[in-house]
């Protein structure tokens, strides 16, 4: 099964599109990193102000190593900003910092999609790597034993993969909502000039597209394996 050319074509196409979008995202952030903020605030300062404006006092803003490693951790209530975002004072840093705080606001307001996403994380962490192998083993067992047992094992793998795929699609509204909250706050509080705001909006738009590509890729992979399992049923 792993030598099926269709499988590798799907993986190759997904990888190519993902690379193209990621490259575009990096170029956008590099460009908007040169647009310095008129207010002179760093990403960390913007994050702290957005949290304060939403009455959130129990979330810490911390610096983390790496590039584009920014994230919000609901477990310990921390907004983790990469070193560049944390320290820099440009449109890209403002966009990322506000976006991650958008997740903190979602958490504070019990945004349903974020809650659902968090509940799915344990299954996704375990199942994302195992699901394809469970399906392959199931197909091989069914073919070797000439019985339906392998088929049901493969179905179990498909169900796990379906949860992983659903996770990718649940992530979309979570990410878009966080960006919308960030942009609304930046605009309403007059944090950025028109040029700076346009840069922040464009940067977040391309960041969201990486999640769209991931969701489409997950759906295509699930469809491929579903066709393999159903096609091998006797």
Q: pLDDT, tens digit, for every residue of 186-198?
A: 999 999 999 999 9
pLDDT of 8 higher than 90: no
Q: What is the mean pLDDT of residues 38-61?
A: 97
Higher pLDDT, 190 or 147: 190
8 A C-beta contact, residue 43 and residue 88: yes
Q: How confident is the model at residue 3 (pLDDT cuts 50, 70, 90)?
A: low
pLDDT of 143 higher than 70: no
Annotated active-site residue in 45, 100, 175, 196? 100
Q: What is the mean pLDDT of residues 127-132?
A: 91
- Which among 41, 23, 52 has a CA at the least distance from the CA of 91? 41
182, two tokens: 């960030």
Strand ranges, E, within 44-169: 60-64, 71-73, 78-82
pLDDT of 105 higher than 50: yes
Q: How confident is the model at residue 57 (pLDDT cuts 50, 70, 90)?
A: very high
Phi, psi angle pair for 126, to nearest 5° = -85, -45
Predicted pLDDT of residue 68: 80
Q: What is the mean pLDDT of residues 33-52?
A: 96
| Count of beta carbons in the 10 Å neighbourhood of residue 30 | 10
Q: How confident is the model at residue 234 (pLDDT cuts 50, 70, 90)?
A: very low
Cα pseudo-dihedral 159, 162, 166, 169, rounded to 10: 180
Q: How confident is the model at residue 101 (pLDDT cuts 50, 70, 90)?
A: very high
pLDDT of 29 higher than 70: yes
Predicted pLDDT of residue 147: 58
Instruction: Output the CA–CA distances (angstroms, integers) from residue 205 to 23, 46, 79, 83, 149, in the order listed.
Output: 14, 19, 20, 22, 46
pLDDT of 7 higher than 80: no
Mutual angle of helices 194-231 and 149-188, in 10-degree steps: 170
Average pLDDT, the chain: 91
65 assigned to active site: no
């Amino acid at each position: 099964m792993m030598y099926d050319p269709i499988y590798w074509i799907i993986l190759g196409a997904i990888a190519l599109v993902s690379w193209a979008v990621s490259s575009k995202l990096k170029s956008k952030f590099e460009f908007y990193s040169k647009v310095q903020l008129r207010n002179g605030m760093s990403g960390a300062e913007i994050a702290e102000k957005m949290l304060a404006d939403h009455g959130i006092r129990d979330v810490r803003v911390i610096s983390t190593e790496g590039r584009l490693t920014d994230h919000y951790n609901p477990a310990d209530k921390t907004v983790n900003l990469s070193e560049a975002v944390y320290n820099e004072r440009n449109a890209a840093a403002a966009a990322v910092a506000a976006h991650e705080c958008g997740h903190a606001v979602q958490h504070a307001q019990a945004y349903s999609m974020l809650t659902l996403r968090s509940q799915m994380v344990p299954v996704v962490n375990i199942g994302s790597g195992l699901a394809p192998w469970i399906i392959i083993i199931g197909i091989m067992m069914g073919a070797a034993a000439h019985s339906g047992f392998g088929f049901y094992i493969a179905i179990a793998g498909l169900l796990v993969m379906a949860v992983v795929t659903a996770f990718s699609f649940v992530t979309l509204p979570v990410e878009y909502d966080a960006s919308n909250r960030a942009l609304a706050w930046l605009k309403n509080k007059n944090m950025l000039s028109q040029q700076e705001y346009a840069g922040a909006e464009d940067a977040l738009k391309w960041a969201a597209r990486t999640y769209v590509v991931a969701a489409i890729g997950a759906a295509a992979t699930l469809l491929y394996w579903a066709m393999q399992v159903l096609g091998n049923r006797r």
